[in-house]
A and B are shown apart, each in its own frame.
Chain A
Amino acid sequence: MEYVVEVKNLTHYYGSKKVHENLNFNIKKGSIFGLLGKNGTGKTTTINILNGFLKPKSGQCLILGEDSYKLSPKTKSQIGFLIEGHIQYSFMNIIQIEKYYSQFYPQWKRDVYFDLMSKLKVLDNQKISKMSCGQRSQVTLGLLLAQDPDLLILDDYSMGLDAGYRRLFLDFLKEYGKAENKTIFITSHIIQDLDGFLDDCVILDYNGVVLQMPIDEFKNTFKMYQFNTNQTELISKDGVINNFEIIKNKATVYSFNDVENVQNHLRTKGVNFTDFKDHKMDLEDAFIGLTGKY
Chain B
Amino acid sequence: MYKALAYKEWIKIRWWAVGSLILELLLLIYIFTNLRAVIEYNSAEMIWSSIVYKSYMFFQSLKYVPFVVGIFISVAQYLPEVLDMKLKLTLHLPLEENRVLLFLNLFGTTTLLLLFIPLVAVLVIGSSIVFPSEITYAMIISIIPWFLSGFLSYFFVSAIMIEPTWSRRLVIAIIGYFLINEFLVDVILGGFIKIIVVLIVFTLLYNYAHMLSGLRFKRGSK
Taking beta carbons and an 8 Å cutoff, which residues of A are in contact with B? 14-15, 48, 51-55, 73-74, 76-77, 79, 81, 83, 85, 87-92, 96, 99-101, 103-105
Contact = CB atoms under 8 A, between A and B. Distances in A.
Given A53-B218, A87-B84, 15 more contacts: A14-B222, A53-B88, A53-B91, A55-B220, A81-B88, A81-B89, A88-B86, A89-B8, A89-B89, A90-B84, A100-B4, A100-B8, A103-B1, A104-B93, A105-B94
Given A91-B11, A103-B3, A83 B88 contact: yes
B53 interface: no
B92 interface: yes
Given A54-B219, A83-B84, A100-B4, A88 B92 contact: no
B22 interface: no
A104 B94 contact: yes
A73 B88 CA distance: 14
Nearest to A75: B94
B12 interface: yes
A96 B11 contact: yes
Interface of B: 1, 3-4, 7-8, 11-12, 80, 84-86, 88-89, 91-96, 218-220, 222
A104 B8 contact: no
Contact of B94 (A55, A77, A87, A99): A77
Contact of B8 (A79, A81, A92): A92
Contacts of B12: 91
27 contacts: A14-B222, A48-B220, A52-B218, A53-B88, A53-B91, A53-B218, A54-B219, A54-B220, A55-B219, A73-B94, A73-B96, A74-B94, A76-B92, A76-B94, A83-B84, A83-B85, A83-B86, A89-B8, A89-B80, A89-B86, A90-B80, A91-B11, A91-B12, A91-B80, A103-B1, A103-B4, A104-B95
